[in-house]
Structure 1
Amino acid sequence: MIQDFRLPDLGEGLPEAEIVAWLVAEGDTVTLNQTIAEVETAKAVVELPSPYAGAISKLHAAAGDVVEVGSVLISYDLGGDDVVAPAPAAESEQAGEESSKAEPNLVGYGAAPRGSARPQRRARSAAGRPAASDTAVLEAAPHDAIHLTEVERPLERPRSTPPVRLFAKQLGIDLALVEATGANGVITRADVESYAERVGAAPVGTASVAEPELMPELRPMPMSGERTTRTPIRGVRKHTAEAMVRSAFTAPHVTTFLTVDVTATTELIASLKADRALQEHKIGVMAVAAKAVCLALAHHPGLNSRWDDAAGEIVEHHYVNLGIAAATGRGLVVPNIRDAQELSLVELGDAIRTLAETARAGKTAPADMMGGTFSITNVGVFGVDAGTPILNPGEAGILALGAVRRQPWEYKGEIALRDVMTLALSFDHRLVDGEQGSRFMVDVANVLREPGRAMLLR
């Protein structure tokens, strides 16, 4: 029996997706939920799990092809009538429903085995809180195993999150050899670290979201026979370009700058790093700035608003979905931490690290890039002092953090070496005037100048 599988809507409402890589070939036998391909939309790369168990009869697209949603992607030879078939989407959204034909959730979880109750799952953001849509969240789908001669592997790839898979890859560790201690058999970062200690794996350092990377050695550009290279404009790069043009020519941008002494903040961060109880957490300038922004937005709601042109209304948000701009090999993405105003400094630091690692791995969930209310971009990691950031579409403000530099500065009536940083705030002048923007900037700067002030704000 031949069964066609059509490219589904990957939870974003987008009309097409690009085949990044096939993980199976014609003639292969696959299991239910085995990852068969990686596909890229305008927002993220997602793993596509198989909705059927059977043999691959035909691949209808090649890597690099752009396929429209609804087009036949792959054909299966199921070899019988007892198969798992997708159910109508409307039925699949009924919580707790059991069906003899379980619908595969095609963005991450895969199909439930036939005859089992549909599991109840909730999408979670980088901060660990429920996300807006559970159909657009990426979680590790089971994979097929690669043969090992000395160690017998499980039939499916161990479950883990994208940051953990990236961490294991950097250590050169095969996750199939790691014992899982997380809920539902999920391998955690601690599991990988424990295995690394036992086998003596040496970690490969990754750049912190709040610390500048070392400048690579400059070398002559290698020349090829061609004088130019043409790359198709698509995927994340295309989406980002369209969004930035729309934002730049829709919202009247104004940018204001303020240089601030952040020595007290850097001293606080150093003391937290020295605290053994906090060694597993990553708390940097970005986390302190994120906390300062959340506190300041409560007093300056115009910066946490949206201009609804169609409705002729200004929508003021009473929560903060804090966008964190992340540069990746595929382009700029701005996932957000949901309800960031509820998180502690430690929780914000953890959320930023997870978000950045996931973005670098190209595994950011589409849902985590929707619904942001204010954004932060850290140009200081590239050694840049300041910039004029463009607003994320639909947001009223974005704060750029410059590099922290040790330099002479006036301090208590004398000249001293201090840690200094420049802040740059771009805002939508339809929603925020110069006074509001300036006062917001001063409030953020005051927290960075004296972190103890945060104890006085609520």
Structure 2
Amino acid sequence: MIQEFRLPDLGEGLPEAELVQWLVAEGDRVALNQTIAEVETAKAVVELPSPHAGVVQALHAAAGDVVEVGSPLISFEVGAEASARPATPDASSPATAEPTPRPATAVDAPADDAAGPNLVGYGAAPRSGNRPRRRARTTASTPRTTASDTAVLAVAPHDDIRLVEALESVQERPRSTPPVRKLAKDLGVDIALVRGTGQDGLITRDDVRGYADTTARADQPVGSVRTPDTAEIGETRIPIRGVRKHTAEAMVRSAFTAPHVTVFLTVDVTETTELVASLRADRSLADHRIGVLAVAAKAVCLALRHHPTLNSRWDGESGEIVQYHGVHLGIAAATERGLVVPNIRDADRMTLPALADAIRDLATTARAGKTSPEAMRGGTFSITNVGVFGVDAGTPIINPGEAAILAIGAVRSQPWEYRGQIALRDVVTLALSFDHRLVDGEQGSRFLADVGAVLREPGRAMLLG
């Protein structure tokens, strides 16, 4: 019996997800709850467990495809038939040479939509006329260099590449590799008009470039001088999706919904850096790696107790200002997939060492791309540490659903007035952006002054507590 597994709602209310990679292939026998794929939503990479025990009958999407929630993702053969079925057939067997017809995947796309060899490795099936493609990209994926083309071909199953080429031959498409078809699309060349000079008529990159140059010269009016354009210097087109798409939408929504105001404060944090150094020298605290960011996070939690308007949100639908009773502190983390802001639950209840541990774990998980969607929901106030990039200050954009965000600049040693004298001190600039619908200038300024006071004299934490 065939069981079809459709992409579920991963608990975020998002309409789609990108298939990052398959961890199984057609013909593989899988166990219940075995991880079968990784998908990237607009917020995080999520592992999908198998809902059935059986044999993979068909994969309905390829790596890189954007799949709508509720659309077929994979089919399993379960029950007695699956138990009797042998293991994955050899690549040279007739069963592999003529794969079971299945819904179209990225490999079935026309030449100008190709994004590279099919790493799933089971070739292309004839396109089904009754099922639309779920391919979300309207442009080709990120162009690959010659080196990356070689790397992809080295990883891909060669038998399957030959199978794809054989199918293309049957369909009377020009013989070329996916990267060459990608180049042709970028240059606006109809690859069907290009004559291949490679082995057995294979169209090469030079063939495509030569045709493009010839066409351009033919189109140039006699006596005219051709002016350079961006096509001559090359360009890279990167699909807007996943974390980057979500971040862009959230920032635009925040910037054009909440009236932002940013205030700055430069603070002598020498006592904080000395405190951090002494805590790190303490063997009993060596495992916690307490830093300036952790102290700043503690200062924010303490100051929010006295300035609850900065720990609130604007509910326009109900016509209410919602003040939170606790602090779910968001920490902005830069990852390869873009900016994510996971939050530390009940940060206001944590000790300084516990906050340091939570920040470290949060950053490690984010860099690994394993931040869960749950960890990025429900934040009440955020911190972004631009100082790690050597930046002194900035005007951060508030996360939607929050009232403010604090940017912490780089800590620098510089001449500073201290007790009536000029001395070399550790100085940092803080920048607080807040929603002026919720927070008045006085409230925002007083809050920032209280945070600065704790960083200037950490002992003041005893007064704010």
Once the two structures are superposed, the pairs formed by residues 285-304 of structure 1 within 5 Å of their partners are 285-304=292-311
What is the deviation of 1:226? 7.1
1:82/1:319 CA distance change after superposition, 3 Å:
farther
- Is the partner of 2:61 in helix, strand or coil? coil
Query: In structure 2, how many angstroms separate the alpha carbons of the residues matched to 1:428 and 1:2?
Result: 53
Q: Give percent identity, aligned residues only.
A: 79
Q: Distance in 1 between matches of 2:373 and 2:17?
A: 13
Partner of 2:63: 63
Deviation (angstroms), 1:28: 1.3
**Cα offsets for 1:329-369 (capped at 9, x unmatched):** 11111111111110000010000011111111111110111
Partner Cα separation in structure 1 for residue 232 and residue 76 of structure 2: 43
Task: Work out whether residues 263 and 431 of structure 2, in 8 Å CA contact, stay in contact via their aligned partners in 1.
Answer: yes
Counterpart in the other structure of 2:353: 346
| Structure 2: tracts of 5 or more residues without a match | 84-230
TM-score (normalised: structure 1)? 0.68
Amino acid in structure 1 at the alignment position of 2:423: A
* 2: CA distance, partners of 1:251 / 1:81: 59
- 2:272 counterpart residue number: 265
RMSD of aligned alpha carbons: 1.7
Deviations 1:250-278 (A, max 9, x none): 10000000000001111111111111111
**Residue 454 of structure 2 is aligned to residue 452 of structure 1:** no
| Residue identity opposite 1:300 in structure 2 | H
* Code of the aligned partner of 2:58: K
State the shift of 1:433 in Å: 1.0
Question: Which residue does the alignment assign to 2:39?
Answer: 39
Larger radius of gyration between Structure 1 and Structure 2: 2
Q: Deviations over 1:159-192 (max 9, x none)?
A: xxxxxxxxxxxxxxxxxxxxxxxxxxxxxxxxxx
Q: Which residue of 1 aligns with 2:173?
A: none
| 1:244 positional shift | 0.3
* Residue in 2 that maps onto 1:49: 49
Pair 1:371 & 2:354 matched = no
Matched residue SS, 1:435: helix
Structure of higher RCO (CA pairs closer than 8 Å, 6+ residues apart): 1
Q: Using the alignment, how far apart are the partners of 2:232 and 2:368 within structure 1?
A: 32
Instruction: Report the Cα offset of residue 79 of structure 1.
Output: 4.0
CA distance in 2, matches of 1:226, 1:48: 41
1:307 is the counterpart of 2:307 = no
Q: Which of the two has greater helix per residue?
A: 2
Aligned to 2:20: 20
Partner residue of 2:156? none
Q: Do the aligned residues in 1 keep the contact of 2:55 with 2:82 (CA within 8 Å)?
A: no
Cα distance in 1 for partners of 2:295, 2:80 equals 59
Runs of 4+ in 1 over 2 A off after TM superposition: 79-83
* Distance (Å, rounded) in 2 between the aligned partners of 1:387 and 1:299: 25
In the alignment of these two chains, the number of paired residues is: 319
Per-residue deviation, residues 278-305 of structure 1 (Å, max 9, x unmatched): 1111211110000000000010111111
The amino acid that maps onto 1:294 is C
**Offset at 1:420?**
0.4
Q: Find the counterpart in structure 2 of residue 410 from structure 1.
A: 417
The answer to whether 1:435 aligns with 2:442 is: yes
Which residue in the other structure is 2:172 paired with? none
Residue matched to 1:200: none
1:243 aligns with 2:250: yes
Deviations 1:356-393 (A, max 9, x none): 11111111110111111110000000000000000000
TM-score (norm 2): 0.67
Aligned to 2:297, what secondary structure does the other structure show? helix
Q: Secondary structure at the match of 1:424?
A: strand
Which residue of structure 2 aligns with residue 329 of structure 1? 336
Could you say if the C-alpha distance between residues 226 and 48 of structure 1 is closer, same or farther in structure 2, counting changes exceeding 3 Å? farther
For residues 75 and 316 of structure 1, what CA distance do their matches in structure 2 show? Answer: 47
Distance 1:72 1:226 in 2: 41
Residue 80 (structure 1) shift: 2.2
- SS at 1:280 equivalent: helix
Offset, 1:55: 1.3
- Which of 364, 369, 393 is the matching residue for 1:357? 364
